[in-house]
Amino acid sequence: MFEVAMSPEQLDQWREKHKLTQEVAAEIFDISVRMLRYYLSGERQIPARVVAIALAQDRAVADQGGSQVGFWR
């Protein structure tokens, strides 16, 4: 088994790459905006579930030839 980790900087870069506001990113992760801000500030560790959702989004975008699809727009 391996551990998947994402730093606060990587999470914020992911959000900006997909042109998402903090509010929309929080909705995608099914968390509060406040909790997302905890993750982005480094006050709380980013859970594996959030990392998995971000990686799944990247995979979906790649599978579509680089264009965002569905509610990820």
> Which domains, ranges and CATH numbers included, belong to the chain?
8-64 (1.10.260)
Measured between alpha carbons, how far is 56 from 34 in angstroms, rounded to an integer? 23
pLDDT, residue 29, reads 97
- How long is the chain? 73
More confident position, 56 or 1: 56
Question: Which residue is listed with tokens 């975008």?
Answer: 61
| Dihedral sign of CA atoms 30, 34, 38, 44 in order | negative
Burial (CB count <10 Å: 0-12, 13-18, 19+), residue 24: middle
pTM, two decimal places = 0.79
More confident position, 7 or 63: 7
Kindly state the tokens that stand for 21. Answer: 């506001």
pLDDT, tens digit (0-9, with 9 covering 90-100), for 18-64: 999 999 999 999 999 999 999 999 999 999 999 999 999 888 776 66
